[in-house]
Amino acid sequence: MVSRVIPVGPFDLVIFGATGDLARRKILPGLFHRFQVSQMPPEARIIASARSPMSAEDFRTMAGEAIRYYVPEADQSGSKLAQFLERLDYVAVDAQGEAGWAELASKLREGVIRAFYLSVGPSLFGDIAQALQRTGLATPQARIVVEKPFGHDLASAEALNAALRHCFEEHQIYRIDHYLGKEPCRTRWCCALPIRCMNPCGTPPISTTCRSLWLKASGSRGGVNITTVPGRCATWCRTTLSSCCA
């Protein structure tokens, strides 16, 4: 089966927590792969952000080292890696303060999609969302992406969800769980239980299935939808899928 590359329009992607482990191991190598297959348009830009003071050149050096380590074939891609690194910029931003937000705003363009990827702990999700709204960066064309863990229980998941929805419209929020792509989870999909996934997962509502193991672990019975409540769905996905992969 030949994979299909879906073209995308110009965008500004801001990665909060860009010096962290997740960004170095997954996000930057993943973006480089998208660049390699020409899915990233020439006008696209990636703006890295973290609390640490760092020049853009120093960040490019760090990003290059990470990509070479996690993508061994990167050095064999000719000038692709150098071209990708040229797209990277860096701004030191205090997620819980005022420092750096004005500089970040000055680097973002009007009229293009703005995607804010929160590669940070869930305790900072609300602070960053509020800062984006306060500084006027949460425009109608903005998107915010958060990864699991989405809270540590139902109450904290609902609180995080409320904080995000206070600053962004629901269609602008993308909650993702990379465990859904893990091989141990992919091999467990079957026709045991249809689950109605919510739109904020990043896709239109879809029907997926899981093994009886997940049904038993979730405490659900009768083959009906487990939940369509965002907080419950996020918490169930995190706790159940993590136990399946343990």
Q: Which of 70-79, 142-151, 199-208 has the highest mean pLDDT?
A: 142-151
| pLDDT > 70: percent of the chain | 68
59: containing domain: 11-147
Same domain, 103 and 193: no
pLDDT for the residue numbered 106:
93
CB 17 within 8 A of CB 91: no
> Which pLDDT band holds residue 5 (cuts at 50, 70, 90)?
low
Question: Which range in 71-75, 105-109, 155-159, 197-201 is most confidently predicted, on average pLDDT?
Answer: 105-109
Q: Do 43 and 142 belong together in one domain?
A: yes
pLDDT for 58 equals 95
* Segment 145-175, tens digit of pLDDT: 988 777 778 888 888 889 899 899 998 998 8
- Neighbouring residues of 149: CB distance < 8 A, sequence distance ≥ 6: 122, 238
Say yes or no: 40 and 141 in one domain. yes
Residue 33: CB atoms within 10 A of its CB come to: 15
- Residue 61 — very low, low, confident or very high, per pLDDT cuts 50/70/90? very high
pLDDT at residue 138 above 70?
yes
The answer to the question of residue 74 being in a domain is yes
Read off the tokens for 133: 């709204």
Same domain, 23 and 131: yes
Share of the chain above pLDDT 90, in %: 37
Q: Are both 143 and 198 inside the same structural domain?
A: no
Assess whether 220 and 98 both reside in one domain: no
Crossing angle for the helix pair 125-134 and 154-167, to the nearest 10 degrees: 10
CA distances (Å), origin 136, targets 97, 100, 110, 200: 15, 14, 12, 22
In this structure, are 16 and 122 located in the same domain?
Answer: yes
7, 150, 151, 217, 232 from 156: Cα distances, Å? 37, 8, 5, 21, 10
Inform me whether the pLDDT recorded for 63 exceeds 80: yes
Whether 143 and 201 share a structural domain? no
Question: Do 43 and 98 fall into the same domain?
Answer: yes
Q: Is residue 15 part of a domain?
A: yes
Is the same domain home to 24 and 140? yes
Same domain, 50 and 136: yes
Of 16-30, 34-48, 115-129, 225-239, the poorest mean pLDDT is in 225-239
Mean pLDDT, the chain, whole residue set: 75
96 domain-assigned: yes
- If one counts the domains in the chain, the total is 2
pTM flag (> 0.85): no
Grouping H, G, I as helix, E, B as strand and the rest as coil, residue 93 is coil
Confidence of residue 218 (pLDDT cuts 50, 70, 90): very low
In a domain, 2, yes or no: no
For residue 7, what pLDDT is reported?
73
Q: With cut-offs at 50, 70 and 90, classify the pLDDT of residue 12.
A: very high
CATH of the domain at 26: 3.40.50.720
Q: Of 95, 123, 147, which marks where a domain is finished?
A: 147
In a domain, 197, yes or no: yes
Does one domain contain both 42 and 127?
yes
Per residue in 98-133, pLDDT (tens digit) is 899 999 999 999 888 999 999 988 888 989 999 999
